[in-house]
């Protein structure tokens, strides 16, 4: 599978990564190599093999809905790059452009 710079650019957008051309140029051939190596998996017939998403069977874990202490508000905001009145502050979501 040949990965082009355009593909890298598209996937970077999906992953919310700004990616300068210099990085796309490095990544495209490296990703081609890695995915070409991954083609090995096509050699094996796995038609009826059930996929494994976890080493052991996982079941949903529930607890009783009991109120108990959690991280205090002020502590949770300690690492926020910008906050105001007990809230995390961010640039306007709807104004100022963006392609969302």
Partner 1 sequence: MSVHSVKEILASIQKGETTAADWVKTSLDAIEKIDGELKSFLTVTADHATDLADKKPTGPLGGVPYALKDNMVTEGIRSTAASRILENYVPPYNATVENKLRSAGGVLVGKTNMDEFAMGSSTETSAFQKTLNPYGRGHVPGGSSGGSAAAVAAGLVPFALGSDTGGSIRQPAAFCGVFGLKPTYGRVSRYGLMAFASSLDQIGPFTRTAEDAAIVMNAISGYDERDSTSAKVGTEDFTADLNKGVKGLRIGIVRNLTEEGLNPAIKAAVDGAIRALQGAGAEVVEVDLPHSEYAVATYYLIAPAEASSNLARYDGVRYGRRAEASSMIDLFEQSRSQGFGMEVKRRIIIGTYALSSGYYDAYYKRAQQMRTLIRQDYETAFESCDVIVMPTTPTTAFKLGEKADDPLEMYLNDMYTIPANLAGIPGASIPCGFVDGLPVGLQILAKPFDERTILRVSHAYEQLRDFSWPKPELGVAE
Q: Applying CB under 8 A, which residues contact partner 1?
A: 3, 7-8, 11-12, 14-20, 23, 26-27, 30-31, 33-35, 37-38, 40-42, 44, 46, 49-56, 58, 61, 63, 71, 75-76, 78-82, 88, 90-93, 95-100
- Note whether 24 and 8 are within 8 A (CB): yes
CB nearer to partner 1: pick between 71 and 85: 71
Query: What is the DSSP code (8-state) at residue 11?
Result: H
CB of 86 vs partner 1, minimal distance in Å: 13
Instruction: Select 85 or 93, whichever has its Cβ closest to partner 1.
Output: 93
Q: How far is the CB of 47 from partner 1 (least distance, A)?
A: 9
Q: Are 3 and 36 in contact (CB under 8 A)?
A: no
As given in the structure block, the two tokens for residue 3 are 């990965």
Question: Per residue, what are the HEC states of 22-84?
Answer: HHHHHHHHHHHHHHHHHHHHHHCCCCCCCCCCCCCCCCCCCCCCCCCCCCCHHHHHCCCCCEE
Least Å distance, CB 4 to partner 1, is 12
CB of 12 to partner 1, least distance (A): 6
């Amino acid at each position: 599978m040949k990965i082009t710079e355009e593909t890298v650019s598209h996937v970077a957008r999906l992953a919310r990564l700004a990616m300068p051309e210099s990085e796309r140029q490095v990544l495209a051939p490296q990703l081609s190599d890695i995915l070409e190596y991954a083609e090995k998996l096509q050699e094996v017939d796995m038609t009826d093999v059930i996929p494994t998403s976890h080493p052991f069977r996982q079941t949903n874990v529930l607890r009783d809905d009991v109120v108990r202490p959690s991280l205090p508000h002020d502590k949770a905001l300690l690492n926020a790059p910008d906050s105001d009145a007990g809230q995390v502050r961010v640039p306007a979501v709807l104004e100022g452009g963006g392609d969302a």
